[in-house]
Amino acid sequence: MASLPQPAVARPLSSITRQRPILLVLVAISLVATTIAIVAVRRQPTESVMPAPAPSVLVAPAMNRTSGVIEAYEQLQFQRLAAEH
pLDDT in tens, 21-56: 899 999 999 999 999 999 888 887 666 556 666 655
**Could you tell me which residues come within 8 angstroms of residue 82 by beta carbon, excluding any fewer than 6 positions away?**
48, 50
85 and 53 belong to one structural domain: yes
CB 26 within 8 Å of CB 33: no
Distance CA 84, CA 45 (A): 9
20 and 40 belong to one structural domain: yes
* Structural domain includes residue 20: yes
67 and 40 belong to one structural domain: no
3-state DSSP call for residue 33? helix
* Per-residue model confidence (pLDDT) at position 34: 93
Tell me which residue range forms the domain holding 30: 13-44
Whole-model pTM: value is 0.37
30 and 60 belong to one structural domain: no
Distance CA 74, CA 68 (A): 10
Radius of gyration of the chain from its Cα atoms, rounded to whole angstroms = 34
For residue 35, the one-letter residue type is T
pLDDT in tens, 73-82: 888 888 888 8
Number of domains in the chain: 2
29 and 53 belong to one structural domain: no
* Structural domain includes residue 18: yes
Distance CA 11, CA 14 (A): 6
* Structural domain includes residue 8: no
